[in-house]
Structure 1
Amino acid sequence: MFMDLATEVARNVLVLTVYFIVVALVFNRAFQSLDKLVNFETDAAYLNKQLSANKLQDILNVKFSFAEKYELDELHRLCMSIENKSKDVFVEIDWKQCFISDFDKRIRRAIRVIPGKNEAAAQSPSMILPGQTLKEEISDEKIGSPLFEPKKLQAAADKTDYFYLRLLLKISEANVGGRSCNLRCQFIAKNLSWQKALVLALQPK
């Protein structure tokens, strides 16, 4: 009986040892990834102010989607969705007058991309009819390449800096006529927190 107890204790110690080794490896991997992973979020407060300033808050619902994490050279495109909530307002995006910035706030052309392909779609204007939603992937003129140099993105994430996308919209309203407005959307780059890195490291592949 004593031998059985000793064997059981030894087995439990072995299991605990293996468990703590695995946990230590997971923690180590999570912390090692921190200097290589960033995430992005839309500056929602700024976007809402822009919509309000351009009298678009009751017309448009603008959304951007990002993955939970990115390596420094992994962000190639922005995924955008614009819903025309109105019943009688027509919205047009003039892609030839749309720009995306870097973290030094220098701008370059924003380019519509064919989803899943490293090539540009036609840069003719996009019309969003009342009740319809436009979904686009947007890059710069170097389609297929990272939007930002890894070193500059890392420096920006260290400062929680932002870049922006400027869209030129043409609004046609019944009994009002047409108008143009610049809608500027800001995106904040951040270093991935160690808590988030740990959660992602624990997720099954």
Structure 2
Amino acid sequence: MNQFDLLILAIYIICVTYVINEAIKSLDARFTVRFEPDDLKQQLQEQNLQDTLGVGFGLAARYTKPDELQKLPIIISNRSSRYSIYVDWDHSSFADFDGRSRRVIRLMPGLTTDLFQPQVFSVIAPGKTLKEAVTAEDTLKRESDAGAVKVGAPLVNLASLKTAMDKKEFSLRLVLRVFDPVGGGGGDRFHVLSCKFTARRLPWTDALPWKHLKT
């Protein structure tokens, strides 16, 4: 192989490498957001709530757009046979990637209320489950001066996750009241639970179509 052949080979390798890198860059970024249940489980045990309530979240397996996570579906179960559980939305709060505290807003169809007004407690009867969607106050936009309020911004900035090695955390601080309407052993107790989430950027290989084929 002479010097000219080596030059052609080097140019070919450079071109192929460039094409592959550009193809990788063209793949849409994908993200995963994971709720950390073990941390919450420990808090429930410390506050003797493991048999009283359960908390879960309806997160997607992955998010294909950095602004796709705009609200957080939350599921709160009252596992007790006699206590009423009140969810205090106004005293609950979100903390974003930078630890900035933000007011929690419970989303309702046709939300047109003044956001400065206090939010009504949600009540969960014994053995029942509450399913709601919540977001941070600063994500909301009003469609017109007198129109409905809708979510117009992401809950967290997933675009700040630049590589597959990056991970960031945010949290929901949930304030609840456990009330015994018949009196006796339960009384009236307030509890604070910190629900933690970890967001990661998935490797570019996750965007390959055969990664998600069912076998």
Q: Which TM-score band (shorter chain)?
A: 0.7 to 0.9
Deviations 1:15-68 (A, max 9, x none): xxxxxxxxxxxxx9787436x211101101111112112211111121101112
RMSD of equivalent CA atoms: 2.9
For the residues of structure 1 that align with 2:135 and 2:54, how far apart are their CA atoms?
21
Question: Which has the larger share of helix?
Answer: 1
Structure 2 counterpart SS, 1:124 = coil
Q: Percent identity?
A: 33
Q: Which residue of 2 aligns with 1:168?
A: 175
Single out whichever of 118-127 and 69-78 deviates more from structure 2: 118-127
Alignment of 1:101-180 (within 5 A): 101-114=95-108, 123-141=119-137, 142-143=139-140, 144=151, 145-152=153-160, 154=161, 158-173=165-180, 174-175=183-184, 176-180=186-190
Read off the aligned partner of 1:183 and give its amino acid letter.
L
Q: How does 1:3-42 map to 2 (within 5 A)?
A: 32-33=26-27, 36-42=29-35
Distance in 2, Cα, partners of 1:91 & 1:182? 13
Segments of 5+ residues of structure 1 without an aligned counterpart are 1-27
Task: Tell me how many residue pairs correspond in the alignment.
Answer: 174
Cα–Cα, structure 1 residues 202 and 129, in superposed 2: closer, same or farther, change >3 Å? closer
1:22-101 equivalence runs, <5 A: 32-33=26-27, 36-70=29-63, 71-101=65-95
Q: Summarize deviations over 1:167-200 as a string: whole Å, max 9, x none.
A: 1101113413111011110011011244543357
TM-score computed with the length of structure 2 as normaliser: 0.71
Q: Distance in 1 between matches of 2:112 and 2:134?
A: 11
Are the structure 2 counterparts of residues 32 and 56 from structure 1 closer, same or farther at C-alpha, using a change threshold of 3 Å?
Answer: farther
User: Are the counterparts in 2 of residues 46 and 186 from structure 1 also a CA contact under 8 Å?
Assistant: yes
- The answer as to whether partners of 1:80 and 1:137 remain within 8 angstroms in 2 is yes
The answer to whether the 8 Å contact 2:172/2:196 transfers is yes
Aligned partners of 1:139, 1:113: CA distance in 2, in Å? 7
CA distance in 1, matches of 2:212, 2:90: 44
Are residues 200 and 39 of structure 1, via their aligned partners in 2, closer, same or farther at CA, if it must alter by over 3 Å? farther
Normalization by structure 1: what TM-score?
0.74
SS at match of 2:120: coil
